[in-house]
Amino acid sequence: MNELYRLAEAAGASPSGFAPFDPAASIRLYTDISGERGYETKLSKAALTLYELLRWDEGLRASIGDEVVFHKKVTGRVPDLKKPMSQQYRQSLKTLIHSLAHIASAPVVSINGGLRRQTCVAVPLDSSAFGKGAEYETLSATAFRDVVVALAQFGWIDFVPAHFNPETSERKRTRVRPTKPMFDWLVQEDLVFPYHPHRQKTPRTSSKEGLLFVSVADGEGARTSIPLDRPMSKDEEVLEPLNDALRKQRLKCSYRDYSQYETLYDYAHGRPRYSLTGNKTLRRVFAGEDGRAGRLYGHWVQRLPKELRQRLTVGGKPMAELDYNGMQMALLYADADKLLPDQADLYAVPGFDRDDMKAVLLRTVGTTTRQSAVAALRKMLREQGRSSQGRAEALYDAFWDFHAEVCPHGTSDSEATWARLQELDSTLALRVLRKLLDKGVVAIPIHDSFLVEERHADATEVVMLQEFEALFGVAGVSVKRGY
């Protein structure tokens, strides 16, 4: 959250507290509550749910008529909400919830090349703002004030009363901001999402679009994908029927709570880090030339971090992610026609940290010599503040002494191993996807893991083990479930 604090300080606001008199951090109450398809219906249901929470709360019932005081000022009295919700209260709650959901969804916005904080909503509590011809003529002054005061007493909104600046003769409206319980409730009601109130549009894809590409670097170092004009291989033929099935999936991803939404929001640029929708098809992309690497890319789910993939549902049902355990090492052994070591964790080297051992592998397969890999490890250790004389060499030697049979660094320079490993895991992925599709199971590949409806997890594990042994002629690889 340090990034958020630095940005907030630069804007003169506090992200976790409340910026009481910062006009730039406020938005006006939105009366236009249009949004994505079904949004208003969702808003109406949320308004009813919230009204019932307030209506049946024992604390509110016991304090009906009591003064509500914020910042030593009487804001109003606790209203009597014992009657069922009327249309006036429904409209007031919908309008307020909509505006609060908007600042929760877009805590920072980009305007004219700059960033602006949005932490609170300026709400009208003076009766002159309501009635015929007034700014909020569609709302009831009584109903709106009642729901605002009730929510403040309920502890779901923070309150900063209206104030008058005698130096500028400027009057600022009362402002409200959700507290943590309301932020989390807004998330649970699916009212907090990127690009609120309209979700990002999903691009349409055609089954006739190219499925095979080569990624090449241009003269400036950027990469571009060039379509391959050749028939698909037997393994690649699964892409067309798989993409047809993927297009039909009803996927949904939700946030656990508001703190997760904040963590995954890009405050430096005023936009979400990840899209929760997008392209639902796959294509095979080779690196530099046809046949080199060839992993599957394109599905929006592949870009999600693991903490969001855990929240995925398909058709309203939970999903499971199954992952080959120590896949890169398993591929090295299989490609060298060597038996896998008889141990569950191939990164478990006695006396060394597992993450350091994984770092050794990553930097080894991405380089062509021991010297290059050690230099990359040394850089990592320096950036982590753990650098010491000979430490990078010790890590490298410990790992590859343990797995000496499959160390990819020989005595002469050769191509880095990553492309060969990607070629192997992409071929395996295509075969797993084909076998699953033949069984009626639609899977989304995340390189060497597969997302499937949870009820298909056991069948998917069996297929993954069978296809690994069939392709490489060795057994011993294991599969783990990510969640």
145 compared with 71, residue with greater pLDDT? 145
At 113-125, the pLDDT tens digits run: 788 888 899 999 8
Nearest Cα residue to 462 out of 478, 447, 449: 478
Contact 44, 87 (CB under 8 A): no
- Could you give the CA distance from residue 156 to residue 176 in angstroms, rounded to a whole number? 10
Lowest mean pLDDT among 18-27, 90-99, 155-164: 18-27
Q: Give the pLDDT confidence score for residue 167 in this predicted structure.
A: 67
Predicted pLDDT of residue 303:
95
- State the average pLDDT for the chain: 89
Q: Is the pLDDT assigned to residue 192 strictly greater than 50?
A: yes
pLDDT confidence of 13, banded at 50, 70, 90?
very low
- The domain limits of the chain are 2-188, 212-330+418-481, 347-402
Each residue of 360-375: pLDDT tens digit?
999 999 999 999 999 9
What pLDDT is stored for residue 14 in this prediction? Answer: 40
Q: What angle do CA 317, 319, 322 make, to 5 degrees?
A: 160
β-bridge pairing 157-160 and 444-446: unpaired
Q: Regarding predicted confidence, which is higher, 108 or 8? A: 108
Range from 204-213, 219-228, 317-326 that averages highest in pLDDT: 317-326
310-331, pLDDT tens digit by residue? 999 999 999 999 999 999 999 9
In the structure, what pLDDT confidence band is assigned to residue 305 with cuts at 50, 70 and 90? Answer: very high
Rounded to two decimals, the pTM is 0.84
Asked whether the predicted pLDDT for residue 251 surpasses 90, the reply is: yes
Predicted pLDDT of residue 325: 92
What is the rounded CA–CA span in Å between residue 4 and residue 328?
36
**268 pLDDT more than 90:** no
425 vs 328: CA distance, rounded Å? 8
pLDDT at 433 (0 to 100): 98
By the 10 Å C-beta count (0-12 exposed, 13-18 middle, 19+ buried), 222 is classed as: exposed
**Cα–Cα distance measured from residue 424 to residue 430, given in angstroms and rounded to the nearest whole number:** 10
Q: Which pLDDT score is estimated for 15?
A: 43
CB 416 within 8 A of CB 368: yes
